[in-house]
Amino acid sequence: PLMFFGTTNLDLCFNVERLPTPGESLMGALTRHPGGKGANQAVAAARLGLKPHFYTYLGDDDAGQSLLKSLMEAGVRTEAITVCAGEVSGLAVVMVADDGSNMIVIDPGANSKVGPDMIESATKFIERDAIVVAEMGMPIPALNRLFEMKREKGFELIFNPAPVRPGLPSAAWRNVDFVTPNQTEAFELTGIEVCDFESAARAAEKLLDLGPGAALITLGAQGAYYADCTGSFSLRAFPVKVVDTTAAGDAFNGAFAASLAQRLPLKEAVRKALAVAALCVTRRGAQSSMPTAQAVDEFLQS
């Protein structure tokens, strides 16, 4: 059993020649696609053939309907999803310039309505051998309750601290089994600039001091670094031709969780996550760029 907790957004993406300056109007090409870190992660796992549950809040608007439909079509189990009366769905306006730089504004909408009591009822039926994944877009009190439930229920908890926000009680970290920041998030959490495996090792030490069982830092095109109290290892990223790095971290987290749920040994799980994320960056888009199990197997054999 595999369950994701997190945000769902409709992404409105403008491709522009360059980012606008204050007061300026620019022309751009608009595309709409489903997004939100939690949703992307759940879809990544579903594409790999698992049947993950996803816990999120949607608005009772057209966007919510189409987001729900795309999750179902991807193979995500949506029974735990709540459609909030009178709320709008999470919406992100993204501008991407030709040089790859971007600007993003998010209205969390229904995502901001998740409360601690709802988390308590959602986790009631989670079994001990379940893998639970949470990102940091959920309201902090709800996230904290999820971490407390881990202590009661004993499931395995992967925490992707993205985007890093203040307010999580320091005791909460001890309930985390794996914390999975990227370089920026690792810096925000530890103050250590992560630019290579050596600095990742120092950041991982500091992350472990916070209390999680293990730290797994992703370093973009360089790969990933893992450490727990018994040891550490690093694995290089697969060299690929990069088209669009959107949702690379989500692909990595979704695939890592899926691999643990399939009981792959730890190092194999990280390697599979690197392969899934590598394939993700060779394709445009977020959820649409998540590879199938077959594509990943072929990639690993080639």
Active-site positions read 250
Nearer to ligand ADP, 207 or 219 (CB): 219
Does position 279 interact with ligand ADP (CB under 6 A)? The reply is no
Stretch that binds ligand ADP, among 75-83, 170-178, 244-252, 289-297 (CB under 6 A): 244-252
Task: Give one DSSP letter per residue of the chain, joined into a string.
Answer: -EEEE---EEEEEEEESSPPPTT-----EEEEEEE-HHHHHHHHHHHTT---EEE-EEESSHHHHHHHHHHHHHT-B-TT-EEETT-PPEEEEEEEETTS-EEEEEE-GGGGG--HHHHHHHHTT--TT-EEEEETTS-HHHHHHHHHHHHHH--EEEEE--S--S---GGGGGG-SEE---HHHHHHHHS----SHHHHHHHHHHHHHHS-SEEEEE-GGGEEEEEETTEEEEEEPPP---S--TTHHHHHHHHHHHHHHTT--HHHHHHHHHHHHHHHHTSSSSGGGPPPHHHHHHHHH-
Does position 219 interact with ligand ADP (CB under 6 A)? The reply is yes
Stretch that binds ligand ADP, among 24-32, 171-179, 239-247, 259-267 (CB under 6 A): 239-247
Does position 13 interact with ligand ADP (CB under 6 A)? The reply is no
Sole binder of ligand ADP in the list 7, 182, 199, 287 (CB under 6 A) = 182
Nearer to ligand ADP, 33 or 145 (CB): 33
Sole binder of ligand ADP in the list 80, 140, 210, 221 (CB under 6 A) = 221
Sole binder of ligand ADP in the list 248, 286, 290, 296 (CB under 6 A) = 248
Work out how close the CB of 223 gets to ligand ADP at its nearest, in angstroms, rounded to a whole number.
6
Cis peptide before 163 (omega within 30 of 0): yes
Nearer to ligand ADP, 113 or 165 (CB): 165
Tell whether residue 228 is among the known ligand binding residues. no
Does position 218 interact with ligand ADP (CB under 6 A)? The reply is yes
Sole binder of ligand ADP in the list 214, 278, 290, 296 (CB under 6 A) = 278
Stretch that binds ligand ADP, among 55-63, 129-137, 140-148, 240-248 (CB under 6 A): 240-248
Does position 281 interact with ligand ADP (CB under 6 A)? The reply is yes
In this structure, is the dihedral angle defined by the CA atoms of residues 224, 164, 116 and 9, taken in order, positive or negative?
negative
Q: Which residues of this chain interact with ligand ADP, rule CB under 6 A? A: 182, 218-221, 223-224, 237-238, 240, 242, 245, 248-249, 252, 274, 277-278, 281
